Amino acid sequence: MTETDRKDLRRRAEEYLEALRLKGCRRTEQRRLIIEALLENQGQHLNARELMERVQSKDPTIGFATVYRTLLVLGETGFVHSFDQGEGFARFDIPQETMHFHVLCRSCGKMVHLEDEAAKQEIVTAWIGEAGFRIVPQTFQLYGICQECREKGAPMNEAAGAETCCGRRRLGWNR
């Protein structure tokens, strides 16, 4: 990372910290490192543990609870989007656009980013505007059954749970 990039990252993290301060959250060095790690990994959709590992490479004393609590606060204030891709844990990201779209297969859990996001944003923005609202940044997660699963005859109404080391994977909203 160049010196300019590092300064830019600092400046952007500063904006988030200041916004948090206005919401009554304390500014801490640990929070700054967590926000910087989120900014550095924007678009990666990290889970809390992956984010913690990146933060710990800079300060090994930052624990999982601190990372997770900070993510929750940032999520509540709308600075961070969280989404469950059917893995049984959340992934987090700082939104790059006003809106961001995912489609998730309810059968196999595959996630795809939808094309032509900008054009769809215009439609949703206008639609929400008709109700007198202004859109805030958010991730939309739509559910479907992917082509592969349809060809294999996956049912349209039931998520097929897959076994993992932690037991049954949670797919869809009904388990």
Name the site residues for Zn ion (rule: CB under 5 A): 105, 107-108, 110, 146, 149
**In the complex, what is the shortest distance from the CB of residue 128 to Zn ion, in angstroms, rounded to a whole number?**
20
Q: Catalogue the long-range contacts made by 147-151 (C-beta closer than 8 Å, 24 or more residues apart).
A: 148/108, 149/105, 149/107, 149/108
Instruction: Read off the DSSP letter of residue 113.
Output: E
**In the complex, what is the shortest distance from the CB of residue 23 to Zn ion, in angstroms, rounded to a whole number?**
25
User: Which of these, 130, 111, 108, lies nearest to 45 by C-alpha position?
Assistant: 111
**In the complex, what is the shortest distance from the CB of residue 99 to Zn ion, in angstroms, rounded to a whole number?**
11
Kindly tell me which of 19 and 145 has the beta carbon lying closer to Zn ion.
Answer: 145
Kindly tell me which of 35 and 109 has the beta carbon lying closer to Zn ion.
Answer: 109
SS3 114: coil
Kindly tell me which of 30 and 44 has the beta carbon lying closer to Zn ion.
Answer: 44
71 Cβ neighbours under 8 A, 6+ residues apart: 34, 48, 51, 80, 82, 90, 92
**In the complex, what is the shortest distance from the CB of residue 29 to Zn ion, in angstroms, rounded to a whole number?**
29
Kindly tell me which of 33 and 101 has the beta carbon lying closer to Zn ion.
Answer: 101
